Structure 1
Amino acid sequence: MVTAVAAEADSVAAGLTSLGGPAPADVPLPGGFTLRRLAGAPPAPSAAGAAPGSPEPPPDGTYSVVDVLVAGVGPAAAAVGAATALAHGAYDLVVSAGIAGGFPAHAPLGAVVVSDEIVAADLGAQTQDGYLTVEELGFGRSAHPCPAGLTARIARALADGGQHHLVAPVLTVSTVTGTAARAAELAALHPRAAAEAMEGFGAAEAAAAHGVPVVEIRAVSNAVGPRDRAAWRIGQAMDSLRHTFQLLSRTVFVEAK
């Protein structure tokens, strides 16, 4: 689980404590990163595998392992943090998690967006004729698809638990949208996009480099558009994030692939 800041990691970990098992343990990594490790039963190959410093599993193998990482803000920090963790452990899934801005046409405050695609919305070139993606420029990539079976399992668990959610693209930006004009531009370029955050594409690049599937899960704290701090609902979004991972810890993260 790759988060940007400690408050997001706290909400994710609070939900995941329903995994049970040993008490959470901190595992240091190079670069000053620290994993918050949670273990529970039964095993979940789709969540994570053994890594250096893992708690010793019982003889019957009833522990699954989920690591929560605070990587920092922005796609570069997320990529470095996720790549560092992936280089020091055998994982089966990377989840970029946290709060986000929601496009009002799709995702109201408090809703949870599960990515079916993670898109770098400003990785390209601005021209007189409009924005060009790196694919249109002839090099690189600006989108990572997420496994359809995985997103379906997550959506089913959230629906069963009564958590308002939708499955849609999540945009990654290096500069958070703060004007109506930019929000409209993004909505026109990515009409299915439901949320905007700053880390997903970086985590996805690291996951792809290690051949690991990735998904982004975001709770909406504010509307994409003009900055109006008085309208932000960060506490509500953090509660949705915690509830989401509580639901997933009982289902998706304890199911075998």
Structure 2
Amino acid sequence: MSGLLLVTAVEAEADALRAGLTTDAVTVAAVGVGPAAVAAGTARLLALAEAEGRRYDAVISAGIGGGFTPRAPVGATVLATSSIAADLGADSPAGFLSLDELGFGRIAVPVDAGLLDTLRAALPHAVVGAVLTVSTVTGTAERERALAERHPDAVAEAMEGYGVACAAAGAGLPFAELRTISNPIGPRDRGAWRIRDAFTALTAAAAALG
């Protein structure tokens, strides 16, 4: 795949992707942690490229994340069907109200169908489903259950996909999200995290992309 911009949160994720790529036609950039930082950083990269006359063909949010057990176990590769801003909304006595329910917009951005088909062909063993974007990583069983109930099609959570999706949409470019799973979503237990395994899987996924 050529003409791609792969956006990560941190340099360690970017390095894992670069280790697997075999072409210079794919650009990898780490632009910051969280939806706001990554949206701003991605939009800047896209604007600079367009100003220089080298518009990208597509944008992929890539990196590691947490997986909903048993749908996306540690070490799995995940492809998003949509990126969902899972905690964008308001609390209320009746429970959480999403941006959609408040009437201020939508929290789910579907990925480009053609780009997803291409990624699925390159990564046939990937788990496919919605990926949640959160500003606070889930660390309790109660929050894990609440997210799973609100988003029954979700397979993973991370902190950047929705922000990258907004930047790509603003530039009129196809968007997708790729994650490799470093930890199960639920009670925070750093001893259960397998970040090295997730980086290895990220390198393997990049090798399949070109």
TM-score tier after normalising by the smaller chain length? over 0.9
Given the alignment of the two structures, is residue 68 of structure 1 paired with residue 68 of structure 2, yes or no?
no
Q: Compute the displacement of 1:74 (Å).
A: 0.5
Question: Once superposed, what is the RMSD of the aligned Cα atoms?
Answer: 0.9
Counterparts of 2:202 and 2:120 in 1: how far apart (Å)? 14
Q: Compute the displacement of 1:7 (Å).
A: 0.5
Counterparts of 1:227 and 1:146 in 2: how far apart (Å)? 29
Aligned match for 2:80, one of 108, 112, 115: 115
Q: Give 1:174-213 correspondences, 5 Å limit.
A: 174-213=135-174
Q: Which runs of 4+ in 1 moved over 4 A?
A: none
Classify the secondary structure of the residue corresponding to 1:130.
coil
Q: Give 1:120-199 correspondences, 5 Å limit.
A: 120-159=85-124, 164-199=125-160
Classify the secondary structure of the residue corresponding to 1:201.
helix
Q: Compute the displacement of 1:195 (Å).
A: 0.5
Classify the secondary structure of the residue corresponding to 2:91.
strand
Which structure 1 residue ranges, 5 or more long, are not aligned?
20-38, 40-64, 250-257
Is the CA contact (8 Å cut-off) linking 1:151 and 1:167 kept in structure 2?
A: no
Counterparts of 1:66 and 1:247 in 2: how far apart (Å)? 12
Is the CA contact (8 Å cut-off) linking 2:83 and 2:108 kept in structure 1?
A: yes
Between Structure 1 and Structure 2, whose CA radius of gyration is higher?
1
Counterparts of 2:60 and 2:114 in 1: how far apart (Å)? 15
Deviation per CA, 1:112-136, whole angstroms, max 9, x where unpaired? Answer: 1101100000001111112211111
Q: Compute the displacement of 1:148 (Å).
A: 1.9
Amino acid at match of 1:175: T
Q: Compute the displacement of 1:147 (Å).
A: 1.7
**TM-score, scaled to structure 1:** 0.76
Is the CA contact (8 Å cut-off) linking 1:171 and 1:197 kept in structure 2?
A: yes
Alignment correspondent of 1:244? 205
Aligned match for 2:71, one of 106, 115, 118: 106
Counterparts of 1:158 and 1:206 in 2: how far apart (Å)? 25
The count of aligned residue pairs is 200
* Residue identity (%): 54
Q: Compute the displacement of 1:105 (Å).
A: 2.7
